[in-house]
Structure 1
């Protein structure tokens, strides 16, 4: 048997081989290049599109994609991947990337500032997209709404899904604002307080220079208009193209997702709690926020 198929087969069969293999692979990759492009952002803000777009350019720079660099979150993700490995037969790349980059921070092994790309998105759209991503993950683990949809149809299942969304996201007193991510992650791990920096309300992107990283902040809503000029200024890339990836409307629940977006009518007091904060006003202008309100209310 050829070596490559043998390795690939082993990686799908045994977590005790898969995990060390990927750790070694990233360590060797890091030795070959001082530069790093780190796509570091909260989930469901279009980061996979950025990741796949940069990978398609075949740059001679390692590219990492992570949602967290917090010790406890990484440990939890590793345990989750280990527990789910017998069913899924893979580890999420974000978990391996987070573990490797966290070790670089712990060892104070950053000789050259990272090139960090982070994104923001309408926080309610982000919350909705994260909710449906969880449904996708449940599907992989054997919990499938599609069986019920096939028997009862979207219109019967939709109220159940909307009720679940309200319980988990609207009426949940323990929920945190999505943009707290910048304090838990960028501030705590890269020593950069984005809310102490200039507001980008009314702008499409901004570049910050810090001790540990150069940071490019993009808005998902204006990404199509800004990415080429942003990539050229930040990375020196010209005529880069976006490769659309991980789009919610292309997934298993796309029909249910579309119905949800058409029918959900969120309470104004809930929207106020999300939008009437300095966390949001730091990134979005009054006119942008008003458009968000109009999207999620029917009255």
Structure 2
């Protein structure tokens, strides 16, 4: 067997083309067989929404492993062909090769702007090494820096080749090694095609080889960006010297080639008489945490918060401060405090208008750390907060959220008591039990520090569906992904004043309007929890059995909160009681306004049976319930459903025809789209997919399902002895959104 095993963009496509023509059926190719790259790839593919099928196809190793095992067992000769390439040139080609899967956000209408954005990203991947477990960053670093690991992980370990022991022929551009029944042709990309053709001729005497020129980056639609990228890409000279000195890079290049490469890619020297001191040998800065200060109209307090943080600052912590549309000089007050601490790595941003938790995607984009420590601008960090939080995340790789107790402060900063004098430390990791704990003090947003995956693993929040209460979600999200640590030790001073967000929304207001508003917020957050769970299910990020147990408990919690909100809403609007029949005003000819029957919310990942549909749908005109196996639809019905996910594609119905007609036509549509006609056969059920082709209510997700069965019959009309007087058109067994 012949295996082209390269770390990408080193003539792989051309080699495969050549070899498959000469050795049909015996040629395989891969960019990596081992866990060092395969495991990060799987985590990367699960974390992004881009199409990664092409990227993952480069690592489709199932057939390779089977053939390798057979060859090793039978003593068949295994020929491995692998390549070496200038590491910087290769990194640019790899970025372009994976433009859509990993660098699409860098592309803009301008070729030059796109190239500069990609150059900045690739340079950062060379310069800064993270250890925070971020799946996207981890994989991109592995991909860009593959020459530092690839030979040891793919050739030395699995096949026993000691590439450092045998000198590489830099003049010919290739070397051949053999070990047992495995032989290796290692060539240099820069010496191709001659090095490949000579090496293959040596491996396969009597055969001539001419390497085609396939899959050239400059010939692709993005070729203009690639050319501009090669022109603008630069790295610090010290970084380049470290790259080309690496023991898995240096042996393959002559001294003159290394010098030329460093000159080619090095940043220009400063144009002044002053000489900049050289950067460190390994200029990669890592951060354990990002402290995030959301700032809005807290000029009188933000200085105290910054002072409390700077008093415990660490070099592995960075600061991101976002002024969310303040109008009181808050930003100036913050900058005044930061002005005396130039060593603090700080990024400051200002929103022209307030975005609330809508700013989080931007904050995560600015952050370079795995952990985000929230520090509200009107509070203070108690001594040891940063060390304690970072220590907990470091000690437990599954930790996704750390919250703590708090000391209550007056407006002027006077301690007025501890928030919870009774709670003990807790590690929360059971989503099923979590609803029973949600009224505890475990989720004080002002004390939160969360792993960035708590935000990045889910779609952005829709402010119309969940306008407030991120701290009511982070605990549930964290425990879906890992665990939460609650610390009974107070780590924040929580300032109490009239503009606290919880006071603004009426937490302590006993008026009916405030109670109803708070109940609505609780209802919204419970609905969002179900959407979060459905999202993880759709992404195959949670085991089906576990998801089913969580879903059942969370739906019960959601339903209970719905009841509470509805009661409060009805009390507020005065519609909670039926009219008094003795009240003459109830019969003075007022127009009757029909009520809206129950509207069922359907989310993906859950199939509703007839028994589950019955309580809601049987209240709609033209639908008969009462049978645990099915709902009967009359000649026609119109049912309003709520399908909130905007990217839902269709509604799947499980239907059966009436037993009195061998074959019948049924017409189905959603939101009054042109109806689709299906044929039902008596005695057989059928799953029917009704596409969602239009939405009249995209924000609320309400959709009208129309079912029309023109051949409906009344059983009593066919058989006078049959007491069933219903008009029966079609049987409905189940519904599911896809």
Higher normalized contact order (CA 8 Å, seq sep 6+, divided by chain length): 1
Q: Distance in 2 between matches of 1:211 and 1:48?
A: 28
Q: Does the alignment pair 1:245 with 2:218?
A: no
Q: Does the alignment pair 1:160 with 2:123?
A: no
Shift of 1:50: 1.1
Shift of 1:87: 5.9
Q: Check whether the contact 1:136–1:252 (CA below 8 A) recurs between aligned residues.
A: no
Q: Which residue of 2 aligns with 1:30?
A: none
Q: Does the alignment pair 1:43 with 2:8?
A: yes
Q: Check whether the contact 2:33–2:59 (CA below 8 A) recurs between aligned residues.
A: no
Q: Which residue of 2 aligns with 1:271?
A: 240
Query: Which of 1 and 2 has greater Rg?
Result: 2
Q: Check whether the contact 2:52–2:101 (CA below 8 A) recurs between aligned residues.
A: no
Q: Does the alignment pair 1:118 with 2:118?
A: no
**Helix, strand or coil for the counterpart of 1:244?**
coil
Deviations 1:227-281 (A, max 9, x none): 3322211123633222222222122321111111112222101101100233222
Q: Which residue of 2 aligns with 1:55?
A: 20
Q: Which residue of 2 aligns with 1:183?
A: 152
Q: Does the alignment pair 1:211 with 2:180?
A: yes
**Helix, strand or coil for the counterpart of 1:196?**
coil
**Helix, strand or coil for the counterpart of 1:95?**
coil
Q: Distance in 2 between matches of 1:282 and 1:181?
A: 15
Q: Give the TM-score normalised by the residue count of structure 2.
A: 0.32
Q: Distance in 1 between matches of 2:125 and 2:43?
A: 23
Deviations 1:152-204 (A, max 9, x none): x2233333332222222333356556142110111111122211223333331
Please list every run of 5 or more consecutive structure 1 residues that lacks an aligned counterpart in the other structure.
Answer: 1-35
Q: Distance in 2 between matches of 1:288 and 1:155?
A: 28
Q: Distance in 2 between matches of 1:286 and 1:197?
A: 18
1:1-299 paired onto structure 2 within 5 Å: 36-57=1-22, 59-71=23-35, 73-74=37-38, 93-96=57-60, 98-105=61-68, 108-138=72-102, 143=104, 148-149=108-109, 153-172=110-129, 175=141, 176=145, 178-236=147-205, 238-297=207-266, 299=268
CA RMSD of aligned residues (A): 3.2
**Helix, strand or coil for the counterpart of 1:131?**
helix
Please list every run of 5 or more consecutive structure 2 residues that lacks an aligned counterpart in the other structure.
Answer: 132-140, 269-738
Q: 1:41 to 1:110 in 2, by over 3 A?
A: farther
Q: Check whether the contact 2:156–2:162 (CA below 8 A) recurs between aligned residues.
A: yes
Q: Distance in 1 between matches of 2:221 and 2:74?
A: 40
Aligned length: 255
Q: Which residue of 1 aligns with 2:528?
A: none
Q: Check whether the contact 1:116–1:216 (CA below 8 A) recurs between aligned residues.
A: yes
More divergent stretch after superposition (243-252 vs 99-108): 99-108
Shift of 1:216: 0.6
Q: Distance in 2 between matches of 1:274 and 1:158?
A: 22
Q: Distance in 1 between matches of 2:54 and 2:194?
A: 35
Q: Which has the higher strand share?
A: 2
Q: 1:255 to 1:267 in 2, by over 3 A?
A: same
Q: 1:55 to 1:289 in 2, by over 3 A?
A: same
Deviations 1:123-175 (A, max 9, x none): 11111212222213348xxx4655x21xxx22333333322222223333565
More divergent stretch after superposition (230-239 vs 86-95): 86-95
Q: Give the TM-score normalised by the residue count of structure 1.
A: 0.73
More divergent stretch after superposition (171-180 vs 43-52): 171-180
Shift of 1:43: 1.6
Q: 1:77 to 1:110 in 2, by over 3 A?
A: farther
Q: 1:82 to 1:242 in 2, by over 3 A?
A: farther
Deviations 1:86-137 (A, max 9, x none): 96777955433x2233345567535212011111001111112122222133
Q: Distance in 1 between matches of 2:98 and 2:53?
A: 18
**Helix, strand or coil for the counterpart of 2:213?**
coil
Q: 1:251 to 1:70 in 2, by over 3 A?
A: same
**Helix, strand or coil for the counterpart of 2:186?**
strand
**Helix, strand or coil for the counterpart of 2:98?**
helix
Q: 1:169 to 1:251 in 2, by over 3 A?
A: farther
